[in-house]
Amino acid sequence: MQHSGPGGIRPAATVAGVRRFLVLALLVAGCSGGHTASQPPVVPRQRIAPPGVLAIGVAGNRLVDGSGAPVRLLGVNRSGTEYACAQGWGIFDGPSNAASVAAIAKWHTNVVRVPLNEACWLDLKAQISPYNPAFTGKNYRDAIIRYVRLLNAHGLYAIVELHWNGGGGSLANWQHPMPDAENAPTFWTSVATLFRSDHAVLFDLFNEPNWNDWSCWQKGCTIWPGSSGAYQAAGMQQLVYAVRSAGASQPILLDGIHYSADLTGWLDHEPTDPKNALVASPHLYDNPCKTVDCFKSSDTYHSLGRIAKKVPVVFGELGENDCSDHFVVPVMQLADDQGFSYLGWAWNTSSCASFPSLITKYDGTPTAFGAGFRAHLAAVNP
């Protein structure tokens, strides 16, 4: 999901929503709406919030904790750190203190996904307007490090991910189609170096690639993203090497193409990872499908069956745009049955429809969409 700031969806997000609708329409053409009745999840008891030292890794096609026991990631996205700094008014959108993190943990979560801005992290002044040094460079990095440590202290894993970047001389104030070869490898070398000793952190290399060519996704290419200038994109292989060359061994999440709605070419273009710790990360919203049966008819769902035999699957974003839980609850039940992980979008007090938001207040008061999500997590991890 992409957006431009607090108080609701901005034009960039509206465009993204239209693109996601068109992409998913191609994937699941012919699916009709409807309501799937919610049923209590039937899943084997799994360790959701592991005790002791927080750590995570990959063993075969499963995520495992520090003791080697299987673990699923069930949590939320915390949006804001991708756009506030680029707009010159802050680093977080809303509180980032202990009370706010405790509120997330009370939802029976064990993970938070933290979006990052490449230009703010690297202090690329030419790509930030209005530029405010209080919210970029070392100040930005230190704030992210403190927040990740706070998440860990509350028993929560952290997924740090590249959400907004520049490219072709453009500002890092929106989500580009692909990571840029000029700065993204440097960004990931820096991020991985700072977090390589924190084994409760996972890396998500790029949010929702939408230059829809699997070869480019893997190896990089020259792209022309609309009105902005052409630039050389970095492929996922280059970014995997950037993380590993920094000495970081943690799991790496790789989104698919078509805003991560399409994972059909994921296995055929899977990068080489010397640590064998890659994770497939689709994103799923309720347009155009309104039922889990509709989603199950898509090519991406069928491809997940093959992918899940080899690597773990984490739905990095899961959301519903009608202010209800008619779609997300059955999808979470399906994910439970398959052993998949999932994170709701998003822990922000914006619109429960167009954003969509899980909460109305940062004390954890849920929207109607969020209420169903919270109740399901409590049932899975009572």
Q: Quick one: pLDDT at residue 46?
A: 40
> Residue 120 — φ and ψ, nearest 5°?
-70, -40
Cβ atoms of 137 and 126 closer than 8 Å: no
Q: What percent of the chain has pLDDT over 70?
A: 86
Helix (H, G, I), strand (E, B) or coil at 235: coil
Q: Render the burial of 28-46: b for 16+ CB within 10 Å, e for the rest.
A: beebeeeebebeebeeeee
Reported as a single tens digit per residue, the pLDDT across 342-360 is 999 999 999 999 899 999 9
User: Once rounded to an integer, what is the mean pLDDT over residues 167-179?
Assistant: 91
Task: Give the Cα separation of 11 and 163 in Å (integer).
Answer: 17
User: Once rounded to an integer, what is the mean pLDDT over residues 247-258?
Assistant: 98
**Does 59 score more than 60 pLDDT?**
yes
User: Once rounded to an integer, what is the mean pLDDT over residues 149-159?
Assistant: 97
Q: How many residues does the chain have?
A: 382
pLDDT band at 3 (very low <50, low <70, confident <90, very high): low
Q: What percent of the chain has pLDDT over 90?
A: 81
The two three-digit tokens of residue 367, written as one number:
């929207």
Q: Quick one: pLDDT at residue 52?
A: 53
Task: Give the Cα separation of 270 and 264 in Å (integer).
Answer: 11
Structural domain contains residue 213: yes
Q: Quick one: pLDDT at residue 24?
A: 38
**Does 323 score more than 90 pLDDT?**
yes
Structural domain contains residue 2: no
Structural domain contains residue 4: no
Structural domain contains residue 199: yes
Structural domain contains residue 76: yes
Query: What's the whole-number average pLDDT of the chain?
Result: 88
Structural domain contains residue 27: yes
CA dihedral 17, 20, 21, 26 (to 10 degrees): 170
Q: Which residues pair with 74 in a beta bridge?
A: 342
User: Once rounded to an integer, what is the mean pLDDT over residues 155-165?
Assistant: 98
CATH number at residue 131: 3.20.20.80
**Does 47 score more than 70 pLDDT?**
no
Task: Give the Cα separation of 73 and 63 in Å (integer).
Answer: 8
Q: What does each C-alpha distance from 287 to 1, 28, 172, 329 come to in angstroms?
A: 13, 10, 27, 15
Q: Quick one: pLDDT at residue 228?
A: 65
Can you give the residue range of the structural domain that contains 63? 11-32+42-380
**Does 257 score more than 80 pLDDT?**
yes
Structural domain contains residue 23: yes
Cβ within 8 Å of residue 360, ≥6 positions away:
349, 352, 366, 367
The two three-digit tokens of residue 358, written as one number:
């899980």
Number of domains observed in the structure of the chain: 1
Positive or negative: CA dihedral 169, 222, 26, 82: negative
Reported as a single tens digit per residue, the pLDDT across 278-317 is 999 999 999 888 899 999 999 999 999 999 999 999 999 9
User: Once rounded to an integer, what is the mean pLDDT over residues 133-157?
Assistant: 98
Reported as a single tens digit per residue, the pLDDT across 200-252 is 999 999 999 999 999 999 999 999 876 667 999 999 999 999 999 999 999 99
Helix (H, G, I), strand (E, B) or coil at 255: strand
Structural domain contains residue 200: yes
User: Once rounded to an integer, what is the mean pLDDT over residues 63-90?
Assistant: 97
Q: Quick one: pLDDT at residue 4?
A: 52
Cβ within 8 Å of residue 217, ≥6 positions away:
178, 209, 211, 235, 236, 257, 265, 269
pTM: 0.89
User: Once rounded to an integer, what is the mean pLDDT over residues 248-262?
Assistant: 98
User: Once rounded to an integer, what is the mean pLDDT over residues 257-276?
Assistant: 97
The two three-digit tokens of residue 355, written as one number:
């954003």
User: Once rounded to an integer, what is the mean pLDDT over residues 3-16?
Assistant: 38
Q: Quick one: pLDDT at residue 256?
A: 98
